[in-house]
Amino acid sequence: MNEMMIPSMIARARAAAMTLRTAPSRTKDGALLSLADLLDMEKDGLLAANAGDVADAEAAGRRPALVDRLRLTPDRVRAIADGVRRVVSLVDPVGQIVEMQTRPNGMRVARMRSPIGVILMIYEARPNVTIDAAALCVKAGNAAILRGGREARRSNAFLGDVLSRAGFPPGAVQVIADSDHALVTALLRQDGIDLVIPRGNEDLIRSVVDHARMPVLKHFKGVCHLFVDRDANFAMAERIAVNAKAQRPSVCNALETLLVDAPAARVFIPRVVRALRAADVEVRGDERTLAAAAAAGPDVAAAVVPAGDADWGTEYLDYIINVRVVDGAEFGLGAEIGISTDRIGPRGPMGVAELTSLKWVVLGSGQVRE
């Protein structure tokens, strides 16, 4: 692909967005169900393409957590297809009335959900994002241009072919598998794209913000915390902490910092440290965590290293966790296109409703201004 092709790509996306804007729910859902079935049928081909991406990443010495983020398995492909079916089961947000007021003259003024238009998504190694983003955008009546990271270029090229056969309007979902960074810069300088969503490391997001001519919905790092209260069920808290950190540390909602209520520290910290180390997780602690570990014996003391100031704001995406002693006290979205950290507009996990905007609708029976 070259830069000269970008305007025609955007033109196709805008035409598709106009079609999707008024498409009935059954039409959108039918295409999404076809996509889910295609993913099941094309599983072997997708896994073969993905194996090539994984082999390249391993040969390049990528971190194991990043390779895990990239890797697809039969279960993960099945989960991607099932995620599309869950999106189908969601209520179509387009046309929903969010609030309505009746004015003194009887006129009703309402706010209605409406598609945004053409959404450009730029993201990194996880190929499942290609399908999640496509499904959510189409459900919300938007066209999508998707550019994944070079690490997943084979996987994304294969998924682009699958998406082209799902029955969407032409141009509704377009995948750019070319890894040339110049294409991203060229896309960000174009008119006709209504919103760009970057999802990846901080450098990627800042680069998009610096070059984009269109609004940017930023998805900065996710430093997820778990707080264990003094009255918590410690067995449950231990199980949750280990699962949240070690089950898949490479995802953005993995646990990075564990906060322990001070009265619980003496009992809980030794047991959770032992459990985390058994799961090959490196534990970094503040002074009170180190003290609680030391009091539990040399095996626990040796399992905790001091945390530095920078650790508390770090998204590791790896088998590392911070533990701090303090005083004080899945969202059902079907799939998430990311987690917005903006304070204006959608904030937090972004599902299908967050990929719409709100417009004013006035319903009257002939009222005029006097």
Q: 154-163, pLDDT tens digit by residue?
A: 999 999 999 9
The whole-number average pLDDT for the span 76-89 is: 96
Instruction: Name the more confident of 218 and 144.
Output: 144
Residue 30: is its pLDDT beyond 50? Answer: yes
The whole-number average pLDDT for the span 352-369 is: 72
Confidence of residue 66 (pLDDT cuts 50, 70, 90): confident
Residue 329: is its pLDDT beyond 50? Answer: no
What per-residue confidence (pLDDT) applies to 127? 92
Residues 274-300: b if buried by 16+ CB within 10 A, e if exposed: bbbbeeebebbbbebbbbbbeebeeeb
The whole-number average pLDDT for the span 194-220 is: 85
Instruction: Name the more confident of 262 and 369.
Output: 262
Residue 197, C-beta contacts closer than 8 angstroms, at least 6 positions apart: 119, 120, 121, 122, 133, 216, 217, 219, 337, 338
- In whole angstroms, give the CA distance from residue 205 to residue 207: 5
What per-residue confidence (pLDDT) applies to 24? 96
Confidence of residue 319 (pLDDT cuts 50, 70, 90): very high
Per the CB < 8 A criterion, the answer to whether 87 and 143 are in contact is: no
pLDDT in tens, 260-318: 999 999 999 999 999 999 999 999 999 999 999 999 999 999 999 999 988 888 888 88
Residue 174, C-beta contacts closer than 8 angstroms, at least 6 positions apart: 9, 12, 13, 144, 145, 146, 160
Mean pLDDT of the chain: 89
Per the CB < 8 A criterion, the answer to whether 92 and 70 are in contact is: no
Residue 333: is its pLDDT beyond 90? Answer: no
Confidence of residue 181 (pLDDT cuts 50, 70, 90): confident
What per-residue confidence (pLDDT) applies to 342? 64
What per-residue confidence (pLDDT) applies to 17? 97
Confidence of residue 368 (pLDDT cuts 50, 70, 90): low
Which three-class secondary structure state does DSSP give residue 280?
A: coil
First to last CA, the chain: 59
Residue 258: is its pLDDT beyond 60? Answer: yes
User: Which range among 83-97, 326-340, 343-357 shows the weakest confidence by mean pLDDT?
Assistant: 326-340
Residue 179: is its pLDDT beyond 70? Answer: yes
Residue 335: is its pLDDT beyond 70? Answer: no
What per-residue confidence (pLDDT) applies to 235? 93
Confidence of residue 369 (pLDDT cuts 50, 70, 90): low
Q: Residue 98: which of 365, 368, 354, 316 has the closest Cα? A: 354
Handedness of CA 249, 88, 20, 333 (dihedral sign): negative
Residue 232: is its pLDDT beyond 60? Answer: yes
